[in-house]
A and B are shown apart, each in its own frame.
Chain A
Amino acid sequence: MSLIEADSNEPQAEPSSHEGIDRRTVLKATALIGATAVITTKKTTVLAQSAPPPTAPVLCGTTPPVSPPTRPFIDDLPVPPVAMPVNLNPAPTQAANIAGGEAARAPHQRWSQFLPLLRYRMVAAPSLHRHHTDLLPSYMWTFNGKYPAPTPLNCYGVPSLVRFSNRLPETAQNTTFGINEITVHLHNGHTASESDGFAQDFFGPGLFKDNHYANAYAGIDAFGGIGDPREAMHTFWFHDHRAAFTANNNYLGLNGMYIVYDSKDPSHELATPGSLRLPGYYGITDIPLILTDKRFCAAANGRNEVFQVVGAGAPGGDKWVVNGKIQPKFRVRRRKYRFRILNTGPAKAWTLTLIRPDGTQAPMTIVAVDANFLQSPVVLADRPLDVQVAMRFDVIIDFSAFPAGSSVYLKEATAQNVGVVTADPAPGLPIGNVLMRFDVVNRESWFPPDTPALPTVLTQMPDPIVPDASFQWEFTLVNGQFLINGLPFDHNRVDHVVLKGSSEEWTLANDVAAGNWNHPVHIHFEEGRIVSRRVRISQNPDVFQDVALRPEELGRRDVYPLPPQNRVVLRMRFRDFVGRYLIHCHNMNHEDDFMMARWDIVNTMAELTQRRREIDERRMLAGLAPQYQQGGLV
Chain B
Amino acid sequence: MNRRELFANVTGVGAHSEAARACSGADIVPNVPLRTHENVEVRFYDDLVKGRQVLINMMYASCESYCPAITARLVEIHKALAERMGKDLFMYSISLKPAEDGPAALKEFAKMHGALLPGWTFLTGDPYDIETLRFALFRHNHIKLDLDTQAHTGKLRIINDAINRWVHVAPFASKATVLQHISWADPPKTLEQRLEDNRRLQEQIGKEVEQFGYRKVI
Contact = CB atoms under 8 A, between A and B. Distances in A.
Nearest to A601: B214
B173 A490 contact: yes
A220 interface: no
A308 to B, nearest CB: 7
B217 to A, nearest CB: 7
Given A96-B202, A171-B163, A488 B173 contact: yes
A244 B192 contact: no
Interface stretch (A201-209, A277-285, A523-531): A201-209
Contacts of A251: none
A313 B191 contact: no
A174 B8 contact: no
Interface string A460-499: 0000000000000000011111010001111111000000
B155 A481 contact: yes
Contact of A579 (B167, B176, B214): B214
Contacts of A628: none
Contacts of B14: 298
A479 B150 contact: yes
Contacts of B8: 68, 134-136, 299, 304
B11 A299 contact: yes
Contacts of A478: 154
B201 interface: yes
Contacts, number: 190
A133 interface: yes
A62 B154 contact: no
Interface in B8-45: 8-9, 11-12, 14-16, 18-23, 27-28
Interface stretch (A103-111, A148-156, A363-371): A103-111
A514 B150 CA distance: 12
Given A176-B23, A490-B173, A171 B188 contact: yes
A177 interface: yes
Contacts of B198: 98, 103-104, 203, 207
B121 interface: no
B164 interface: yes
B195 A206 contact: yes
Nearest to A171: B188
B145 A480 contact: yes
A136 B15 CA distance: 14
Classify the secondary structure of B's interface with A. Answer: helix
A170 B188 contact: yes
Nearest to A488: B170
Nearest to A299: B12
B177 interface: yes
Given A173-B163, A299-B8, A207 B15 contact: no
A195 to B, nearest CB: 12
B139 interface: yes
A200 B172 CA distance: 18
Interface stretch (A53-61, A334-342, A372-380, A386-394): A53-61
B6 to A, nearest CB: 10
Contact of A193 (B66, B181, B214): B214
A101 B19 contact: no
Contacts of A477: 145
Contact of B22 (A173, A177, A602): A173
B153 A179 contact: no
Contact of A300 (B20, B150, B166, B202): B20
Interface string B141-180: 1101100101111110000000111111110111011001
Interface size class of B (residues with CB under 8 A): 35 or more
A98 B199 contact: yes
Contact of A480 (B135, B151, B214): B151
B205 interface: yes
Nearest to B162: A173
A312 interface: yes
A199 B139 CA distance: 24
A194 B215 contact: yes
Contacts of B140: 312-313, 480
Interface in A1-45: 1, 3
Contacts of A1: 191-192
A351 interface: no
A173 B164 contact: yes
Interface in A296-334: 297-302, 304, 308-309, 312-315
A315 B141 CA distance: 8
B159 to A, nearest CB: 11
A506 interface: no
Contacts of A607: 212
Contacts of B195: 101, 206-207
Contacts of B64: none
B18 A60 contact: yes
A605 to B, nearest CB: 14
Nearest to B176: A492
A492 B217 contact: yes
Contacts of B15: 60, 297-300
A62 B135 CA distance: 13
Nearest to A68: B8
B194 interface: yes
A261 interface: no
A59 B20 contact: no
Nearest to B22: A174
Contacts of A602: 214
A171 B188 CA distance: 7
Contacts of B209: 106-107
Contacts of B22: 58-59, 173-174
Nearest to B185: A179
B19 A136 contact: no
A300 B10 CA distance: 9
Nearest to A175: B164
Contacts of A508: none
A426 B212 CA distance: 63
A479 B66 contact: yes
Contacts of A212: none
6 contacts: A58-B22, A59-B23, A171-B163, A174-B164, A480-B152, A490-B177
Given A173-B163, A514-B151, 11 more contacts: A1-B192, A61-B23, A106-B208, A106-B215, A176-B28, A298-B11, A478-B154, A481-B154, A481-B155, A578-B214, A579-B215
Interface of B: 4-5, 8-9, 11-12, 14-16, 18-23, 27-28, 66, 135, 138-142, 144-145, 148, 150-155, 163-170, 172-174, 176-177, 180-181, 184, 188-189, 191-192, 194-195, 198-199, 201-202, 205, 208-209, 212-218
Q: Closest 3 CB pairs between A and B?
A: A479-B154, A299-B12, A313-B139
